[in-house]
A = this chain, B = another copy of it.
Amino acid sequence: MKRHMTRTGGRSMRNPAVSCQRSAVSYQLTAGLARDVEERLTVLFRQSKVIGGLYRSMGQEGESVATAYALERTDAILPLIRNMGALMTMGVRPREIFLQYMAKARSNSRGRDLNIHIVHLPVAGAAEPVVVGPISMLGDSIPVAAGIAMGARMRGQNMVAMAWIGDGATSTGAFHEGLNFAAVQRIPLIVVAEDNKFAYSTPIAKQMNIARIDERAAAYGIPHEMVDGNDMLAVYDVTKRLVDRARFGGGAALIGVDTMRMQGHAQHDDARYVPKALLEEWAKKDPIARFRTHLLETGAATEQDIDEIDAMTKRFASDEAQLAEDDAMPDPSTVTRGVYAGDDFAQPQVEFVKSPFRS
């Protein structure tokens, strides 16, 4: 398994120089922002301002950020509920997330759909990503992701689509059909399969009989690799290589990430089925803390730099939350509108932020 840092963030023997062009600090920023946004959501949830469930990616922010970092700004992402990091990396403005979770009128779904179920199909020429949030039926985003990348290819765009999927969701028929189709058609689709040890309460051993989640891809004849998901540099390296390969005609690939869901499935779930020892072990490997250590040890940033970053992301998250809180709830008279074409009404476009979260 690919690993760049030692488990607690120190320099490992195999740790090369930071291999991406972008500043290492921006990983820290983005993963921190993802966590801060979710922390704010947790507060809002406790205040009963979030409608329905809240699904946290605590402990997984690193893989989500570092995989998305390997994409170009105009590529396509199909995140699942725990890919807050990917959304932040692609520059989705945090307010969008708060608006969605609070079911507000100006959320991308106008209060019609849950949490990160947002869709952005940029106008031609815009330097924006395609974002297609999930529907709840797990697995379905894989065929759709294949179609996005295939459609883009038909239209002459050199686009890669990236879809994330949980260990549990790899058991669905839709996952199989979609990835197999992508493999046969050499579609530039990157699937990030997240082994976070559980699907709701079900341990991965009841989900699959293979030792490593990336072996799911062996049935499709595509490259697959396992990576320490809490090592952002390693994740980036592996992903970048496979993204480049896909972009230049090499076809689909699957990246297995070894990580851990550090909270319950959703906020209502106290996750008592998770062995304490497992949590303790993974707490030491927290991707953000580890990367902090790495930045300090490599001299890429000082304590003060990082504290400033932390303060900035926290402030940003809370400002954005406030903006969303102040928005109105949807007007009930709009309920029947826009089921079919011709009856569309005011569609709030997803907003993106550029700086300082991405070079």
Q: A residues touching B (Cβ–Cβ < 8 Å)? A: 171-177, 180-181, 183-184, 205-211, 215-222, 251
Chain B residues within an 8 Å CB radius of A206: 184
Distance, CA A216 to CA B172, complexed state (A):
15
Q: Count this chain's copies in the assembly.
A: 2
- List 19 A-B residue pairs with CB atoms under 8 Å apart, sorted by A's residue number: A171-B177, A171-B181, A172-B176, A173-B174, A173-B176, A176-B177, A180-B208, A183-B209, A184-B205, A184-B208, A208-B220, A209-B221, A209-B251, A210-B219, A215-B218, A215-B219, A215-B221, A218-B219, A219-B219
Distance, CA A218 to CA B216, complexed state (A):
7
Distance, CA A221 to CA B208, complexed state (A):
8
Chain B residues within an 8 Å CB radius of A211: 221
Chain B residues within an 8 Å CB radius of A207: 184
Chain B residues within an 8 Å CB radius of A173: 172-174, 176-177
Chain B residues within an 8 Å CB radius of A177: 171-173, 176
With A173-B172, A180-B171 as contacts: A210 and B215 at CB distance below 8 Å: no
Chain B residues within an 8 Å CB radius of A209: 180, 183-184, 220-222, 251
Chain B residues within an 8 Å CB radius of A181: 171
Identify 7 new A-B residue pairs, CB closer than 8 A, beyond the known A184-B206, A184-B208.
A171-B176, A171-B181, A172-B176, A173-B176, A209-B220, A209-B251, A210-B219
Whether A216 lies near B219 (C-beta < 8 A) is yes
Distance, CA A251 to CA B208, complexed state (A):
13
Distance, CA A216 to CA B217, complexed state (A):
9
Residue of B nearest to A204 (CB): B184
Residue of B nearest to A173 (CB): B173
Query: Shortest Cβ distance from A42 into chain B, in angstroms?
Result: 33
Chain B residues within an 8 Å CB radius of A208: 180, 183-184, 219-221
Query: Shortest Cβ distance from A9 into chain B, in angstroms?
Result: 32
Distance, CA A184 to CA B219, complexed state (A):
17
Distance, CA A202 to CA B209, complexed state (A):
31
Distance, CA A172 to CA B175, complexed state (A):
10
Query: Shortest Cβ distance from A177 into chain B, in angstroms?
Result: 5
Query: Shortest Cβ distance from A221 into chain B, in angstroms?
Result: 4
Query: Shortest Cβ distance from A4 into chain B, in angstroms?
Result: 28
Distance, CA A206 to CA B207, complexed state (A):
28
Which of A177, A208, A216, A219 has the most CB atoms of chain B within a 10 A radius of its CB? A219
Distance, CA A8 to CA B206, complexed state (A):
45
Query: Shortest Cβ distance from A173 into chain B, in angstroms?
Result: 2
Distance, CA A177 to CA B168, complexed state (A):
11
Query: Shortest Cβ distance from A220 into chain B, in angstroms?
Result: 6
Distance, CA A210 to CA B251, complexed state (A):
14
User: What 4 A-B pairs have minimum CB-CB distances, sorted nearest first?
Assistant: A173-B173, A218-B218, A176-B176, A209-B221
Distance, CA A206 to CA B183, complexed state (A):
10
Query: Shortest Cβ distance from A325 into chain B, in angstroms?
Result: 41
Distance, CA A172 to CA B220, complexed state (A):
13
Distance, CA A176 to CA B139, complexed state (A):
12
Chain B residues within an 8 Å CB radius of A220: 208-210
Chain B residues within an 8 Å CB radius of A251: 209
Chain B residues within an 8 Å CB radius of A205: 184
